[in-house]
Structure 1
Amino acid sequence: MTTTVSILIAFGVYLLGMIGIGIWSLRQTKGADDFFLGGRGLSAPVAAMSAQASDMSGWLLMGLPGSVYALGTGQAWIAVGLGLGTIANWLIIARPLRAYTIVAGNSMTLPEFFGNRYHDEKKILLGISSVIIVIFFLVYTASALASGGKLFNTVFGLDYHIALFLGAAVILIYTFMGGFLAVCSTDFFQGLLMLIAILAVPVLTWGFVGGDFHNMLANTGVNPDNYLSFTYNGDHPITAVEIISNMAWGLGYCGMPHILIRFMAIRSEKELKKSSAIAIVWVVLSLGFTIAIGLLGRAFLYPEILGVTEGAPSAESVFIEMIQKVFIEKIPIPLIAGLFICGILAAVMSTADSQLLVCSSSVSKDIYQNILNPEASDKKVLNVARMTTFGVAVVAFFIAWDPNSSIMDLVSDAWAGLGAAFGPLVVMSLFWRRTNLPGAVAGLVSGAATVLIWDYLPIVNGQTIGNATGIYSLLVGFVISLFFIVIVSMVTKAPDETILAQFDEYKKYEEKDM
């Protein structure tokens, strides 16, 4: 059996398994509540693995190790920020958000929660939130599809555009059929597969580089001491601005709808505590070993230097190249290589499916049912959700069309927009009783607008502000959004008694559920 055939078999079994889960989930999905939240019945392991798998995406196994491979340990500050952000999200945000969404009209989406939290009868928050989600999640979904395209292109030599189509088609099929339950069930298995691959490959690679690692690095054109130092970023000492900007990635967690929705869907408080422990262990292990992949790959793959050697793949393919070298050249078990490469595909699919679902829920539930057609039947909303899922996938497909697009850049832009728009409002909605509707609107608009201006308008000598200053737009947008929420809430009318009473009810419910 040839290497290519073995890898194809592994891919085929994996992809058919994901579609099979979609068919099973289709039978369990009876209405819109099941499609969007799985009936609030997620168990602890499924909720934890699904949240983390949908969070990390192809960025974890392609974007991050590629950056570390190219520039060294200084790029690990992003991982530190994300690790701290994940821990804070599970320990501080998860329980209150689950409780408040139940008290606030059993809200099924983040925009619906905002509307119910502030008794927004004109549905201003619903509209603004939904538009923000669609804009930034299109970019986010495109990053995941681009990861899949690059994977198939690197492994099989397929044309990037054909590879892009194949990956998008499978994700669309099972998300279209089974909705949230299919997404979470597939994410559970994908999260396990990702973790096994992340742990196994660097451990085996270390056996091949071992004590020669330092000397082998020197042969690749880098200064080993600087390359392995947290105080250097590439060829220069890392600056305070770079460290703060990288750490600021962690602020995005409390504003990510595709992660927060898992908190809303967990079965009980008891399951939530188990989920928190599982998720925190998963993310610490995954981030730590992913950094090791980037560092070890630099020495292990030499004399090929990815992204520099003529004809070599980009640095973002370092994990794929390591898997192939370990399990095809060093330890010839191509079937294992195929399964581990499926781990990268799992990372891609686990995020893309969640992003498709969040987009479809925003359009069908928040815009169509809650704004345009409040009398729409449950079946009609479900049909609109499935049609939207298809439409979003098509648009994201064309955004990802350029094979030279950077996964890291696409994820960075989307993460900043969602984190700056929603993060501060989620925090203030849960913990500040005085927050009101005008303040919420001001926070959403100012956060999203700041990121768009910072990252996309070339207003500083032909450069964007982000490129000119090196400051991550999420940090600036988060602070500005928080400022506007507080100031506007304080200078406008206080929330009425019904809103305050609901806030007090949520606090009592949260304490009772502990």
Structure 2
Amino acid sequence: MEGNSIIIATLVAYKLLLLGIGFWASRRVDSEGDFFLAGQGLGAWTAGLSYAASTSSAWVLLGFTGMVFTQGLVALWLVPGIFGGYVLTWLVMGPRLNAETRERGHITVIDFLVTDADRWARLIGLLAAGLILFCFVFYIAAQFQAAGNALTEVFGMSATEAILLGAAVILIYCLLGGFLAASITDALQAGVMVLACIIVPIAALSAAGGLGAVMDALRANEPQSYFSLTGSAFGMAGIGMAMGLLGTGLGALGQPQLLNRIMAVRSQTERVRGAAITIGWGVLIYSGLVVLALSGRAMSLDTGGESLFFAAASAYLPAAIAGVVIAAVLSAVMSTVDSLLLAAASAVSHDSGLRWGTPKRALLMGRLAMVAVALFAVGLTLFAPKDIFTRVLFSWVALGAAFGPAILTRCLGWRVRGGAVFCAVIVGFVAAVIAYNIPGPGADVVEKWGSWALGLIILAIGRVKHG
């Protein structure tokens, strides 16, 4: 009971803090640019940490940890892919993305994408808005589901009530403070996550008797496939599995909620510092979660995998500390929804190209879109449950394949005809969705790499030669 009381008190305090940030940020929202891009005034720490938190919440804390726990070292192929995404977005795409946003006054990454699209710009905007809304409903549902799973795991609280309350709080501070509020709360979330990913793994490793004892227990009890970098697959199937996991990092190159952070940084110097902060954060997070997963497996901790983090906190930390960690991480998982809701809202009110009459009316429609997307995602969470890792990866990979090739090539200086950009977006998305629904490592490679290859081929064909 002591632990439950602490969890509830921490949850309440955290939610009140988020609302306070929303009210504070609302005073700094005077225009569409302020609401959706914080007036391009983010510093390195806010941008770097909020990017990190937006790219790595429920699916990392719960999904990645569960995958290492259940499947072994094959899951580590995700790590170089994720860090490759960090480098490409911040350091390769970032310079032009940030500079052109300042020069031309872009509000969203779709503005950047359609700059040279001429008469195709509106069609591409409509298509992009539809894809973003479709994918983010699944992504948001995964965050809500993660929170519901955790509450059930920890103290049997009604997941339905908790999800509805959490969604309401997130909606309020997003509606008030927009992108600035979301970025500050996400930076706070990133700090909470990194502390939790130090404390809980150290406690689990200590309970297991140290790293040597963990490895001895795993060697004695686990099959050889657990230590293989291709899992239980061999030959081309093993290579396909590894390549499929590695290719997950490509998804970062097409995520509006991530690229918006880079667009919003106040200077190129701050952008480089933001990149270093994101990468350093990732090193701490992934190292801690691998240690946690292996320690939990060595001790045969009774968990389905995706609940490992909360089960370990409850088992190996004093009740007071466990309560704070669980509640803080739970709130952090749910607050990732803010960035997704903002991207969905900007897709409706700005990217779609629909004429709303006045800027204030456009903002109103964006806010109404937030509410609609959140309600639909809550319904999906409650009535169509699916594992977190799968649901997030579907959205991540499909959006990455749709937008990533076109945004990357434009950052590299390509000028491509609007019709080719439109086709590349459709073909990349459709190829990823079809491959996603076909089992096997071969289809996984097509989903992650083949969809990108098709998009790049179309863009190369439609490229306008300079001079």
TM tier relative to shorter chain: over 0.9
SS at match of 1:249: helix
1:30 to partner: Cα distance:
1.9
Query: Aligned partners of 1:396, 1:53: CA distance in 2, in Å?
Result: 20
Task: Tell me the TM-score normalized by structure 2.
Answer: 0.93
- For 2:91, the equivalent position in structure 1 comes to 91
- For 1:475, the equivalent position in structure 2 comes to 449
- For 1:305, the equivalent position in structure 2 comes to 302
8 Å contact from structure 1 (residues 146, 403) kept in 2:
no
- For 1:21, the equivalent position in structure 2 comes to 21
- For 2:408, the equivalent position in structure 1 comes to 427
Aligned residues: 464
Task: Tell me the TM-score normalized by structure 1.
Answer: 0.85
- For 1:259, the equivalent position in structure 2 comes to 258
8 Å contact from structure 1 (residues 152, 160) kept in 2:
yes
1:218 to partner: Cα distance:
5.7
1:288 to partner: Cα distance:
2.0
State the Cα deviation string for residues 13-62 of structure 1 (Å, max 9, x = none): 11211111111112222222111001110011000000110111101100
Relative distance call for 1:166 and 1:216 in structure 2 (3 A) is farther
8 Å contact from structure 1 (residues 66, 316) kept in 2:
yes
1:161 to partner: Cα distance:
2.4
1:4 to partner: Cα distance:
1.3
8 Å contact from structure 1 (residues 41, 267) kept in 2:
yes
State the Cα deviation string for residues 62-119 of structure 1 (Å, max 9, x = none): 000011111111111112211222122211111211112333x311112222222333
Relative distance call for 1:208 and 1:172 in structure 2 (3 A) is same
Matches within 5 A, 1:44-55: 44-55=44-55
- For 1:139, the equivalent position in structure 2 comes to 138
1:204 to partner: Cα distance:
2.5
Larger of the two Rg values belongs to structure: 1
1:167 to partner: Cα distance:
2.5
State the Cα deviation string for residues 350-377 of structure 1 (Å, max 9, x = none): 421111110001001122xx3333xx32
8 Å contact from structure 2 (residues 431, 447) kept in 1:
yes
8 Å contact from structure 1 (residues 246, 472) kept in 2:
no
8 Å contact from structure 1 (residues 60, 347) kept in 2:
no
SS at match of 1:485: helix
What amino acid sits opposite 1:131 in the alignment?
A: G
- For 1:8, the equivalent position in structure 2 comes to 8
1:387 to partner: Cα distance:
1.0
- For 1:315, the equivalent position in structure 2 comes to 305
Query: Aligned partners of 1:20, 1:433: CA distance in 2, in Å?
Result: 44
1:246 to partner: Cα distance:
0.5
SS at match of 2:382: coil
- For 1:290, the equivalent position in structure 2 comes to 289
- For 2:115, the equivalent position in structure 1 comes to 116
Query: Is 1:341–2:326 an aligned residue pair?
Result: yes
SS at match of 1:117: coil
- For 2:277, the equivalent position in structure 1 comes to 278
Query: Aligned partners of 1:43, 1:346: CA distance in 2, in Å?
Result: 24
Query: Aligned partners of 1:152, 1:207: CA distance in 2, in Å?
Result: 26
1:397 to partner: Cα distance:
1.0
SS at match of 1:13: helix
8 Å contact from structure 1 (residues 63, 316) kept in 2:
yes
1:378 to partner: Cα distance:
2.1
Query: Aligned partners of 2:450, 2:167: CA distance in 1, in Å?
Result: 33
Relative distance call for 1:61 and 1:465 in structure 2 (3 A) is closer
- For 2:432, the equivalent position in structure 1 comes to 451
Percent identity over the alignment is 30
Query: Aligned partners of 1:346, 1:161: CA distance in 2, in Å?
Result: 15
Query: Aligned partners of 1:18, 1:29: CA distance in 2, in Å?
Result: 17
SS at match of 1:239: helix
Matches within 5 A, 1:392-471: 392-402=373-383, 404-456=385-437, 464=438, 469-471=443-445
What amino acid sits opposite 1:392 in the alignment?
A: V
1:177 to partner: Cα distance:
1.6
Give the counterpart of 2:231 among 230, 233, 241.
233
Relative distance call for 1:186 and 1:400 in structure 2 (3 A) is same
Unaligned residue ranges in structure 2 (runs of 5+):
none
What amino acid sits opposite 1:477 in the alignment?
A: S
Relative distance call for 1:285 and 1:453 in structure 2 (3 A) is same
What amino acid sits opposite 1:168 in the alignment?
A: A
- For 2:187, the equivalent position in structure 1 comes to 188
1:347 to partner: Cα distance:
4.0
- For 2:348, the equivalent position in structure 1 comes to 363
State the Cα deviation string for residues 323-368 of structure 1 (Å, max 9, x = none): 11122xxxx2x2321221134324423421111110001001122x
- For 2:102, the equivalent position in structure 1 comes to 102
- For 1:351, the equivalent position in structure 2 comes to 336
Query: Aligned partners of 1:75, 1:81: CA distance in 2, in Å?
Result: 11
1:469 to partner: Cα distance:
3.8
| Coordinate RMSD, CA, aligned | 2.2
- For 1:460, the equivalent position in structure 2 comes to none
Relative distance call for 1:277 and 1:465 in structure 2 (3 A) is same
1:163 to partner: Cα distance:
2.9
Query: Aligned partners of 2:154, 2:340: CA distance in 1, in Å?
Result: 25
- For 2:165, the equivalent position in structure 1 comes to 166
1:232 to partner: Cα distance:
4.4
Worse overlay, 29-38 or 120-129: 120-129
Query: Is 1:484–2:458 an aligned residue pair?
Result: yes
Query: Aligned partners of 1:218, 1:270: CA distance in 2, in Å?
Result: 47
- For 1:59, the equivalent position in structure 2 comes to 59
Relative distance call for 1:341 and 1:234 in structure 2 (3 A) is farther
Query: Aligned partners of 2:120, 2:215: CA distance in 1, in Å?
Result: 63
What amino acid sits opposite 1:231 in the alignment?
A: L
8 Å contact from structure 2 (residues 205, 291) kept in 1:
no
